[in-house]
Amino acid sequence: DIQMTQSPSSLSASVGDRVTITCRASQSISNYLNWYQQKPGKAPKLLIYAASSLQSGVPSRFSGSGSGTDFTLTISSLQPEDFGSYYCQQSYSTLRLTFGGGTKVEI
């Protein structure tokens, strides 16, 4: 099984801050890495796929990078609507699409 580890598990930041979340895979997954945002009481929403490609409709302040085992989600200028939890997910295993433990972003 491919294990996904995120850090930090939570963070507090101010509007306008640059925020970085990291995700590490237990083995190389090339760039088969997705990022999701989840607001309280809502289903997750796809933000980024293939490690760095922005899903349609997602603001450009979100960006992703990385390859192999280490990946990063960056919010260039945090906005009030960006609070919530963020999850990485590997898609290297075509059916077993496991998630990281999540990062809760508080503003």
Contact footprint for other proteins (CB under 8 A): 1, 32, 34, 36, 38, 43-46, 49-50, 53, 55, 85, 87, 89, 91, 94-102
Q: Is 4 exposed, middle or buried (0-12, 13-18, 19+ CB in 10 A)?
A: buried
Cβ 31 to other proteins shortest distance, Å:
8
Residue number, 1 or 12, with CB nearest to other proteins: 1
Q: Give the DSSP letter of residue 55.
A: P
Q: In 10 A of CB 50, how many CB atoms?
A: 12
Residue number, 17 or 63, with CB nearest to other proteins: 63
